[in-house]
Every structure is written in structure tokens, then in C-alpha cells.
A and B are shown apart, each in its own frame.
Chain A
Amino acid sequence: MNPLTRRRFMTAAIAATAGVAGVAVADRLARRYGLLPPDDGGIYGPGETLTYAAQRILGRHSLAREFPRSMISASPFLNPVAPPTDAFKRSQANGFADWRLAVDGMVAHPGSFSLADLKRMDTRSQITEVACEEGWSYIAEWIGTPLPDVLREVGVQPQARYVAYFSIEHDWWDSMDMGDALHPQTLLTWGMNDGDLPVGFGGPLRMRVPRQLGYKNVKYITRLTVTDSMKGIRDGLGSAAPAGGYSWYAGI
């Protein structure tokens, strides 16, 4: 065995000190620039933080890939969801005329939007891929109202850092940082492939976040909450996903 000489020991000690100091500095910088995900604790925290921070540093404003119309999947896969609640069925029987999207939290003008209100605003359509964490994917045209437009309408306060979004199904909710919330491709989606958004695909209103995996695209959206911290919201982990073992950030 190589003798552990004084020189080797000193080198190792200096390297270890530099490593610890480096991690401490990186942690402070990550905090300062908002690069820590809400589920940054635990043994998977370092990996999660690295992934989230790296992808935010690489391209906060980059656009998800869009595809030509010819690549739209002829028969997109419909991920089965739990049967809808009574509240959902009542609204469905009503043609979703009474469906409301409430917006509250750190906004100048809290309020609510009907589907008709949303459709009166500027709409955007995009042909993007939904990719599930399981590995499968499909391409569809998604038509909706850009979330940044809705946020401008209600006047987001400057200290806001996240937008939480809630489904009519109580245990189904999620959140995204302002980088995704103010991203031009993030759509409150009510149309798909030139028609209404079918219920199976999240109709009447689904959050579409094309830079993240399928499970961030929560179906049946009824409420948005703008906040500077996920701590006070539900279990504080930023999403229903971490409780089920899944990561909050799904850009990978």
C-alpha cells in the first residue's frame, strides 16, 4: 500500500475543504437565483437540484420542439384516469358552461374566468409532443390561452415565484416556476386537433407545459394560485407528485 505521506494527506485535506466550501457556495448561489426545487431535501435532493438548476441555466426561455401538422398522431394514446367526480359530471351535463378558473394568491386582481372568457383572449396553438415518464409519447395540436396572458390580466406581483394549479379532482395538483409560467408555450388548453379538448385528454381545461413530462400536464384545471413559496400550499412539496414518489421538476 502506498504510504499515506504528509504531502498526500495535505492534498486530500485541501481537496476535501475545497469540496465542502464549493458545495456551500453552490447552495448559496442556488438559493439566491431560485435554482432549488421544492423537493430539494432528502437523499435525492442533490440530483434533483442539479437537474433543475442545470436546465434553468441552460435555457430558461428556449422553446419546446414543435412539429409539422403531418406528424400529428392519428390515434393518440389516452391515459386512463379515475372516473370523474359528481361535480365534474354536473358541469359536463351542462356543456361546461359553468366551468370556472379561479386565480388567487399574489395577484393585483384576483378573479375567475369562464371558458368563454379564456377563448375571448388571444389564443395560441402549438403542435408539440406529450412524453410520459414511462417512455411513451404522442404528438397533437394543442389550442388554448397562453398562461402568461392570463397572469398579465390579473397582475402578478413581482415577488411571485411559482404558479400552483389545481384540478377539480382534489388530490391532483401541481406547480411550476415563473420560468415555465411565463413561457409562451405554456397553455391553458381547451382545444385539441382543431376541436374541443376531449374529456379523456383533460377537457374542458388542461394545463399544457410542453417542456416538462406528461404528468405535469394536469387535467380539469379549476384554480391557479400565485405564490412566492410552496411551503404553505398543501404538503409543501410543490406538487401531488412527490407524495407519490415522483419528482416536482419533470423537465427530464
Chain B
Amino acid sequence: MVRVTHWLTVIAFFALLITGMEIVISHPRFYWGEVGNVMVEPAFTIPIPSSRGSVPTAYKFEMPDENGWSRYLHFEAAWLLLLTGLVYALYSLGTGHFRRDLVPARGERSWRTYRNVVRRTLRRERPDAAEARSYNAVQRATYLVVIFGFIPLVIWTGLAMSPAFTAVMPWTVEALGGRQTARTLHFFVSWALVLFVVVHVAMISMAGFRSRMRTMLTGRAATREDA
């Protein structure tokens, strides 16, 4: 179940990332607070051409408008992410996956442990026996931050842009400081997730891409020879 939900999340993530970028192209300006438009000074601008002629950019040409299908797919993939996340969370609570595999052991919750893991990883030392079978302290902490921090935050900041959802729960956008702040945070958290994915894939490559992929696809643990 952990593997199935992982790969569904991968599908949802890339669909959300690509369609999210398409939507940003229609207004590559970001603001803080409640309102923002081309009459308002932006907090920052992405230096890319826009798919709307009404948005001033440094370029003379317009990108094609891909917002229609991008929005359809963005929200459908968001449902896939949300429902997959709920199944994963319920399953993991039921089976003790969080407690057993993700919460760092009592003695490992210190900066010194994390520093040691990073140092050993950078020196490309072989993992010890426990680590070869399970996640090390840094992996555990990172996965927890992504699962309980970034992903809920990216869903929250997304919903805080929905006029119907914020009619039901106005505090979801007011607590963030306004609709445009929600949009800007949504953008930043998305990049934090991209950074996580890049490092995640880099670490897998270091550990042996093929053996890790086989493990994550079939559930069979890698043997010594594979590594």
C-alpha cells in the first residue's frame, strides 16, 4: 500500500507541477496580501513571457494559452493527491508505518545525529545494517516534514484561493494574510517540494537507482549484490 500510494503521488505531483507552471505563465507576477493585479506593484516577477497580452513582460511575444485543460487536470490531480494521501495516512496509522519506519528513534532526534548522517552520506560510506534495511534519521525527518508539512501546506494554500471554499471557511485564507499571499506561498511550497524530489532522486541514484526502483516497484528488498 505504501508503494502503490507512493507511485500515485508521483503521478499526481508531476501533473500538478506541469499544469501549475502553465497556470503561472498566464500571470507570472506575485504579490503579498489580499489583492494583486497589473495595476499593483508585484513582490516579484518571474522573468518569462506570459500567455496573456494584458500582462506586461520584457518579451514581445505571447505564450499559448494552456489554462483550460491545465486547470481541469490540476484539480483532478489535486483530488488524486488528496485521496491517495488520506488512504496512505489511514493505512500508515493502522499498521504503525509512521511509528515504525518514519518517526526517528528516541535517541536519534538530535542535530548531532543528523549531522553525522549527512557527513557519512557525503563521504559515501556504506550504510550500517539497520540503515540498509530502513530509513536513517535524516530520511525519516525529511519524509515527516514533507508528509505532514509541505503536502498539507500546499493543499491548504491551494484551497485558500478557491472563492467557494473560502466562503465556507474564511479563516483558511485570513490566517494566511490574504488570497495573494496564499498564491505566493503555494508557489514557494511547490518549489520546496520540487527541491525535495530532486534531492530524493539524487539520493536514490547514489544508493543504486536500479535496485531502489526494483524495491519500490516490487517490494522485494535489495540484496547485497544489487547494491
Contact = CB atoms under 8 A, between A and B. Distances in A.
A246 B168 contact: no
Contacts of B79: 46-47, 50-51
Interface stretch (B36-44, B121-129, B149-157): B36-44
Contacts, number: 132
A77 B220 contact: no
Interface in A166-196: none
Given A47-B76, A73-B35, A135 B54 contact: no
Contact of B218 (A1, A59, A244): A1
B161 A136 contact: no
A246 B220 contact: no
A133 B67 contact: yes
A121 to B, nearest CB: 25
Say which size band chain A's interface belongs to: 35 or more
Contacts of B77: 47
B76 A44 contact: yes
Interface residues of B, number: 43
A131 B53 CA distance: 18
Contact of B165 (A58, A133, A138, A210): A58
Nearest to A210: B163
Contacts of B67: 133-134, 245-246
Nearest to A241: B68
A73 to B, nearest CB: 6
B180 interface: yes
B71 A65 contact: no
A77 B38 contact: yes
A159 interface: no
B163 A64 contact: yes
A47 B80 CA distance: 9
Contacts of B212: none
A85 interface: no
Contacts of A34: none
B35 A129 contact: yes
Contacts of B167: 59, 62-65, 211
B75 interface: yes
Contacts of A48: 72, 75-76
Given A48-B72, A51-B75, A133-B71, A251 B24 contact: no
Interface in B157-207: 159, 161-168, 170, 173, 179-180, 183
Contacts of A213: 163
B37 A136 contact: yes
A64 B68 CA distance: 24
Contacts of B163: 64, 129, 131, 210-213, 251-252
A75 interface: yes
Interface string A144-171: 0000000000000000000000000000
A63 B79 CA distance: 24
A80 interface: yes
B84 to A, nearest CB: 13
Nearest to B36: A136
Contacts of B40: 73
B120 to A, nearest CB: 31
Interface of A: 1-2, 43-44, 46-48, 50-51, 55, 58-59, 62-65, 67, 71, 73, 75-77, 79-80, 129, 131-139, 210-213, 244-247, 251-252
CB-based closest 4 A-B pairs: A245-B68, A47-B76, A251-B164, A59-B168
29 contacts: A1-B220, A2-B218, A2-B219, A44-B69, A47-B73, A48-B75, A50-B76, A51-B79, A55-B165, A59-B167, A62-B167, A64-B166, A64-B167, A67-B34, A71-B35, A75-B39, A77-B37, A77-B39, A77-B54, A80-B54, A129-B34, A131-B179, A133-B23, A134-B27, A135-B27, A136-B38, A245-B67, A251-B163, A252-B162
